[in-house]
Amino acid sequence: MSPGYAFRGPSLVFPTSAFGEVEVVSPTPTTQAAFVYGIDPLQVSTRTYLGAASVSGVNGEAVVTCGAQAGSYARLTSGRVTKYRPGQGTLARWTARYSPGVTGNRQLAGLSNQEAGYQFGYVDDVFGIMYTKTGTLEIVTLTVTAAPAAPGSVLITLDGSAPVAAPVTVSGSTSICADQIASADYSQITGGWTAQATGNVVRYVRSITGPSAVAPTFAANGTGAVATPAVATPGVGSTEVFIPRSSWNGSTPAGFDPSRATCTRSRSNTSATATRSSISRMVRRVSLSWFT
């Protein structure tokens, strides 16, 4: 049997496409990432929240570590996304090594974003497959209708967070004011937020799924600026289905070495995986996520 071909019973495991047909040409990668020279922001993006959460390059590997604080997380995602279209499939291969699983922690790697995905890894101390779907990130807009009359810092709260002070100047422009407000750091409040200004509107996107419990607020704080916050897209919590390895139906994921009697999770061989795309309208990235 030629290298690269694998049979399981009467079926051919690979080389096959995402829909199971035998491949007769070599796949052409549309995106790749490596960490030989550390974390390259042109290839990947990172996000950390709270405490000692970090993403770093060590000995040619990306090391993703969350902090010990409850709710902290660290994420590493590919810079390009895969957009699902009817009739198309996606083939992805990745490799991950995991620390021993512990209660209250998740270590996941796979095709996913914050709203949906398929991932392999630990949930608590159990190894398995995490299937996530139907989540929605909350989007808040802040529309600036009057520029500051005095320099200072306006105050913004998101989901009842401590106020974030955003320095503003007397520019005479609502668009410049919005850009200055968006330049403040919102990444460490209530799950983390990103901010981007377009014209006189600041658009905040939450980094975790689920609805806010408290409405956003804006305070001019003596600057004379006027802005109105509003929830443009309410957040919706993701539905999660975790399938522990003990419940797998006997068909191991493509990429596992069928000659091994055990799953060696510390030797980079558990997540070299070919995955089929079957979630319509889901935008996915190859991602590594560690949560507490």
Domain harbouring 222, CATH code: 2.60.40
pLDDT attached to residue 253: 54
- Is residue 127 a part of any domain in this protein? yes
pLDDT attached to residue 290: 56
Q: What's the domain count of the chain?
A: 2
Domain boundary among 189, 215, 233: 233
Count CB-CB contacts under 10 A for residue 42.
7
Q: From the CA atom positions of the chain, what is the Rg in Å?
A: 22
Q: How many residues does the chain have?
A: 292
- Is residue 19 a part of any domain in this protein? yes
Check whether residue 180 and residue 105 sit in a common domain: no
Check whether residue 215 and residue 244 sit in a common domain: no
- Is residue 1 a part of any domain in this protein? no
- Is residue 102 a part of any domain in this protein? yes
Check whether residue 42 and residue 165 sit in a common domain: no
pLDDT tens, residue order, the chain (292 aa)? 334 444 444 555 567 777 777 878 777 787 888 899 999 999 999 999 998 899 999 999 999 999 888 899 999 999 888 777 787 777 788 888 899 899 999 999 998 889 999 999 999 999 999 999 999 999 999 999 999 999 999 999 999 999 999 999 999 999 999 999 999 999 999 999 999 999 999 999 999 999 999 999 999 999 999 999 999 999 999 999 999 988 887 655 544 433 333 444 444 433 333 333 323 223 345 555 556 5
Q: Are 174 and 150 in contact (CB under 8 A)?
A: no
pLDDT attached to residue 257: 38
Report the C-alpha gap between 156 and 163 in whole angstroms: 5
- Which helix (H) or strand (E) segment is 75 a member of? strand 73-78
pLDDT attached to residue 92: 83
Check whether residue 36 and residue 128 sit in a common domain: yes
Domain boundary among 186, 215, 233: 233
Check whether residue 247 and residue 191 sit in a common domain: no
Containing structural domain, residue 243:
6-135+238-291
Tokens describing residue 117: 């995905």
Check whether residue 12 and residue 126 sit in a common domain: yes
- Strand, coil or helix: 218: strand
